[in-house]
């Protein structure tokens, strides 16, 4: 109700609730005092081809339950909010209850967070308890894109290996989770043309030692030098500052087939990692970063 600037809605809701209760009382009272005269018979109306009802009065036990429900409803509206902006005698609100529950939970977990925040991130990554907490955070917020095992999918990086688009240092991982990332590969179709894109694809495949057409790769090398080295470097080893992938390490975000690389070169790619800093807070980001680092360090051993 606080979203409405006019008092009209406050009185409208109060009136609607009170009238609804009074209408129920009227229905109930009229059915308790009305008596059926004569023998019990079937009503003339029929539902669903053959369903009819007798003109029996409502059972007394049902009527008394209805009265109890109405009394409960009236008492509820006196004690709790439900009549427009009337707060109820107890002054209960969902916001206050949520705040109390959060405060109670913080009292339990805050010391745990503070303990880990004082430690080096790589040390936290080696703590089994911290890894378990980080895993729960990961499954809640990250598994939708990176998978429950953190090994990613097409277009979503594998976080369990030791390959990093934006760097794998503790600070870089924390920055990625906190602020998110936006990666854009511009489309070069208008510049390269269909044949040029195929040449570049063969050259890129050659960088990873994949099967390729050597003549096309030679032509593609020139096109690569003219259009791609700004981001991927003269040797195709990428640039973590830009998030440009290393094209020589046999790790592919979108796939290594000639058709897929041609598609990437022609139409470009656009990826966005959402920012979680405001949503999770510094402590949870710290544990989540420790978990991700723990995965990659375990893989490196």
Cα separation, 258 vs 203, whole angstroms: 10
pLDDT at 3 over 90: no
Would you tell me which CATH number, out of the four given (3.30.420.590, 1.10.760.10, 3.30.450.40, 1.10.3720.10), belongs to the domain 120-180+274-300?
Answer: 1.10.760.10
Instruction: State pLDDT tens for residues 217-241.
Output: 999 999 999 999 999 999 999 999 9
Region 184-273: CATH code: 1.10.760.10
Instruction: State pLDDT tens for residues 65-121.
Output: 999 999 999 999 999 998 888 888 998 888 889 999 989 988 988 899 999 999 999
Instruction: State pLDDT tens for residues 189-208.
Output: 999 999 999 999 999 999 99
Q: How confident is the model at residue 4 (pLDDT cuts 50, 70, 90)?
A: low
DSSP result, 65-91: HHHHHHHHHHHHHHHSS-BTTB--TT-
Average pLDDT of the chain is 90
pLDDT at 131 over 90: yes
pLDDT at 2 over 70: no
Taking the domains of the chain in order of start, what are their residue ranges? 8-36+51-94, 120-180+274-300, 184-273
pLDDT at 1 over 50: no
Instruction: State pLDDT tens for residues 240-253.
Output: 999 999 999 999 99
Paired with 273 in beta bridges are 181
Give me the sign of the Cα torsion angle 70, 76, 77, 79.
positive
User: Are 120-180+274-300 and 184-273 the same fold in CATH?
Assistant: yes
């Amino acid at each position: 109700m606080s979203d409405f600037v006019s008092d009209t809605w406050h009185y409208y809701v109060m009136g609607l609730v009170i009238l609804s209760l009074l209408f129920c009382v009227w229905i109930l009272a009229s059915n308790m005092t009305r008596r059926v005269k004569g023998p019990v018979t079937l009503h003339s109306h029929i539902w669903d081809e053959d369903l009819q009802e007798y003109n029996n009065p409502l059972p007394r036990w049902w009527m008394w339950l209805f009265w109890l429900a109405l009394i409960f409803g009236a008492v509820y509206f006196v004690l709790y909010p439900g009549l427009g902006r009337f707060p109820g005698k107890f002054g209960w609100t969902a916001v206050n209850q949520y705040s109390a529950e959060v405060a109670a939970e913080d009292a339990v977990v805050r010391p745990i967070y503070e303990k880990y925040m004082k430690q080096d991130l790589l040390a936290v990554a080696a703590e089994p308890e911290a890894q378990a907490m980080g895993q729960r955070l990961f499954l809640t917020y990250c598994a939708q894109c990176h998978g429950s095992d953190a090994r990613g999918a097409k277009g979503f990086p594998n976080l369990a290996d030791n390959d990093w688009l934006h760097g794998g240092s503790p600070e870089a991982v924390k920055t990625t989770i906190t602020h998110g990332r936006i990666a854009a590969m511009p489309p070069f179709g208008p510049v390269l043309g269909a044949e040029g894109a195929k040449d570049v694809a063969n050259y890129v495949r050659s960088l990873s030692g994949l099967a390729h057409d050597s003549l096309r790769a030679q032509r593609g090398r020139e096109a690569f030098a003219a259009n791609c080295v700004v981001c991927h470097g003269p040797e195709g080893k990428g640039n973590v500052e830009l998030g440009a992938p290393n094209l020589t390490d046999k790790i592919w975000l979108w796939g290594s087939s000639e058709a897929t690389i041609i598609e990437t070169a022609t139409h470009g790619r656009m990826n966005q990692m959402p920012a979680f800093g405001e949503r999770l807070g510094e402590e949870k980001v710290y544990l989540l970063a420790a978990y991700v680092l723990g995965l990659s360090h375990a893989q490196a051993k």
